[in-house]
Amino acid sequence: MKQYYIYTYGCQMNESDSERLAHQLETAGYTATDAVEEADLIILNTCCVRETAENKIYGRIGELKHLKEKNKDLILAITGCMAQKNQADMFKRAPHIDIVLGTHNIQHINEMIAEVQRTHTHQLNVDMDNTVLPELEAKPNGTFFAWVPIMNGCNKFCTYCIVPHVRGREISRPVSAIVEDVRKLGAQGYKEITLLGQNVNSYGLDFKDGTHFGTLIDALDGIPGIERIRYMTSHPQDMNKEMIDALGRSSNVVTQLHLPVQSGSDRILHKMNRHYTVEHYKDLVAYCRKMIPGLTLTTDIIVGFPGETEEDFEATVQLLKDVRYDMAYTFIFSKRSGTPAATMEDQVPEEVKRVRLQKLMDVQNEISLALNKDMEGHVYDIIIEGPSRTDETMWFGRTSGNKMVLFPREDRLHVGDTVQARITKGQTWVLYGEIL
């Protein structure tokens, strides 16, 4: 029986695509292996959001060349965003690659494998059809949680982002298909799902019949077995009160909201092509906190975008202080070839970027610590995920707001159990608790 091994890089959408690739391979008779050197098929499901990620993947491709030399029948396939971006150039850079399969074509993996076996030639499929989104089954990797893609593509064209160029235009799955997926997962024992899209707030807008993200949230409410519904990623431009109202009235949508702001300067937001103002963003946050009690709010911020002045940066620092995020994922701007920001004038020096990033992190860390300490003494439902990686005597779980809670291991508890935990100590990145 032939075996496969999948490397997955990048975002949760890629993780979901890998699960769908795995299901197709197993219908063709392949089985998964944990030993890459024993595989008859190796897939690298790739990311190209940052150049460092792309270089890392090329390094891995080079490392796999010796396995091809040992096993002439080994098939090496590259899928995902990097395959879509670089296309046939990948064969030139690494001739030992057999298949390059774009983001819109993972449903063709088995036929591509068959063609390699039949012809012993390179196979390329990077066509982008934005009118059809294939319905593909998955092999979930989680014990109690699963990914559920609701759409693909992005229409926003932020000036720093390559995603619209490699994922194509927005196309949504029907509400009925998503509901069916979630019902099946609930019946199979999965209690937490995450709805995936490059921009979930634009879900359904391509139907042009009034369907929106709130429509989907309402349709998923109360499905048996599903305790928690997460979603990512949101975009402030398309979020509105109707959607927020649906999130607030849902019985199983989590209290976490990841709402990337990227900058606290309207001038920089305009250069980023983000199409909202800081004032509008703050209004959205205020309404979310009103309608979703106990909201945990996280964000993404880019430091050192081309042309960012000290005044622009200080506006971002002030935004952190005003909004008080539970956590902020902060990044130094890095050029991504193929995007307008890569060639903009007034690139910020690297040293200035690093200094600004550290200041931003210091401010956010103080806020995160204060908010986590405010949770001390309070009781939260958590779903147990397993043992701590650093201490075998401790296990961990997450709150609805996606806060990690460490607690002493007990034999009566199992992965996937939903229990109540009282927070005994709040730290910057983690909470400590006791199970009641």
- Side chain identity, residue 159: T
Number of neighbouring beta carbons within 10 Å of residue 420: 12
CA distance 418 to 228: 11
SS (H, E, C) 321-369: HHHCCCEEEEEECCCCCCCHHHHCCCCCCHHHHHHHHHHHHHHHHHHHH
Structure tokens at 323: 């909004």
Question: At 53, is the secondary structure helix, strand, or coil?
Answer: helix
Structure tokens at 84: 């879509």
Structure tokens at 56: 């890392």
Backbone angles phi, psi at 434, to 5 degrees: -130, 140
Structure tokens at 21: 């690739």
The answer to the question of whether 81 is labelled as a binding residue is yes
b/e 119-129 (16+ beta carbons within 10 angstroms → b): eeeebbbbeee
The answer to the question of whether 288 is labelled as a binding residue is no
The answer to the question of whether 48 is labelled as a binding residue is no
Per DSSP (E only), the strands in 132-177 are 145-149, 151-152, 171-172
- Side chain identity, residue 346: D
- Side chain identity, residue 378: H
CA distance 258 to 230: 10
Q: Tokens 């309608």 — which residue? A: 291
Q: Sign of dihedral through CA atoms 309, 313, 315, 316?
A: positive
DSSP label of 31? E
CA distance 79 to 88: 12
Paired with 101 in beta bridges are 79, 125
b/e 247-268 (16+ beta carbons within 10 angstroms → b): bbebebbbbbbbbbbbbbbbeb
- Binding-site annotation: residue ranges for [4Fe-4S] cluster: 11, 47, 81, 154, 158, 161
Residue numbers belonging to the annotated binding site: 11, 47, 81, 154, 158, 161
